[in-house]
Structure 1
Amino acid sequence: MAKVKKQRPINLDIKTIHFPITAIFSILHRITGVINVFTFGFLMLLLDKSLSSPESFIKISVFMSNFFVKGVLWSLLTALIYHAIGGIRHMLMDFGYLEETLLMGKISANIVFIVTFIFSIIVGIIIW
């Protein structure tokens, strides 16, 4: 029996791979979900400490005034905003309010990116 040589295209150059917008949306939605799971406890701990006493509130306020901490907080809130808006998009599709077509997927993914960008700028202004 002769061995059949499989001729499959091999593309190992990452720079030439182009994902569609819907794939980018899906990957980012999963990543932000993981980020939210791991940071939610830390944010709740900060809230708990800030509400426990006036002295703790002052300590947390000083901690949060650091430029690096503000940047991390802004990043975490941006991830939360993206994941929440993306979740609303998924629910609208699941409940039949948005068509489950490729065109609607592209349009709604772009809308989520734009709305997230706008809210991210607003949150950045509020934090700084």
Structure 2
Amino acid sequence: MSEVTVRKQRPKHLAINEIRLPLPGIVSILHRVSGAGLFLMLPFLLYLLDRSLGSPQSFETFSAVVGHPLAKLLLLGLLWAYMHHFCAGIRFLLLDMHKGLELQAARNSSRIVLIVSLALTALIGVKLW
């Protein structure tokens, strides 16, 4: 007996700009990126905590650092990372409990995560600054 082997034409390179990632995949990647960002920014946050609690002079240093527009932008990014990581974490816990595994439910929950995390970031960001 002869076996016929059919070979598929596969691309020789991976064109990342042509890959269309679904929304739940984007939320998953952003969850990982936000977790890594929060972890890597931990020394900066601990420095700010130290400056804010040490003495009145160190609080002045804290106020000067946090008052800079670049630091405010960085802190706003950290706030978004925390909000997104929190909301997406709740979504993933529900997925682990087999809630919302259907395609449309997964798309809706990932859309909700993005909207809620951005809304909370805007709300808290405006309240803080």
Normalised TM-score (structure 2): 0.85
- Which deviates further from its counterpart, 50-59 or 86-95? 86-95
Instruction: Determine if contact 1:22/1:105 at 8 Å carries over to the other structure.
Output: yes
User: Which runs of 5 or more residues in structure 2 are unaligned?
Assistant: none
Partner of 1:28: 30
CA distance in 2, matches of 1:8, 1:90: 36
- The aligned amino acid for 1:76 is L
Partner of 1:100: 101
User: Which runs of 5 or more residues in structure 1 are unaligned?
Assistant: none
CA distance in 1, matches of 2:56, 2:72: 21
The structural deviation recorded for 1:74 is: 0.4
Partner of 2:124: 123
CA distance in 1, matches of 2:43, 2:94: 28
RMSD after superposition: 1.9
The structural deviation recorded for 1:5 is: 7.9
Instruction: Determine if contact 2:100/2:109 at 8 Å carries over to the other structure.
Output: no
The structural deviation recorded for 1:59 is: 1.1
Q: Does 2:57 align with 1:61?
A: no
The structural deviation recorded for 1:60 is: 0.6
After the TM superposition, which segments of 4 or more aligned residues of structure 1 sit over 6 Å from their partners? Answer: none
Between the two proteins, what is the percent identity of the paired residues? 34
- The aligned amino acid for 1:126 is K
Normalised TM-score (structure 1): 0.85
